[in-house]
Amino acid sequence: MCNMTFEENSGENSSDRMESVATALEEVLSSALPQGCITVGVYEAAKSLNADPDNVVLCLLATDEEEDVALQIHFTLIQAFCCENYINILRVSNMRRLAEILGGGVKPAADLDLHCILVTNPQSSFCKDPALSKVNRFCRDSRCLDQWVPVINLPDR
pLDDT score recorded for residue 68:
81
Model confidence pLDDT, tens digit, residues 96-120: 888 888 875 555 445 668 899 999 9
The separation between CA 65 and the C-alpha centre of its own chain, rounded to angstroms, equals: 18
- Residue 10 has phi, psi (to 5 degrees) of -80, -10
Q: Which of 54, 152, 148, 155 is nearest to 96 (CA)?
A: 155
**Distance separating the N- and C-terminal Cα atoms of the chain:** 35
Domains annotated on the chain, with CATH: 38-153 (3.30.1330.30)
- How do residues 5-40 score in pLDDT, each as one tens digit? 434 444 446 778 888 999 999 999 999 998 889 999
Global pTM exceeds 0.85: no
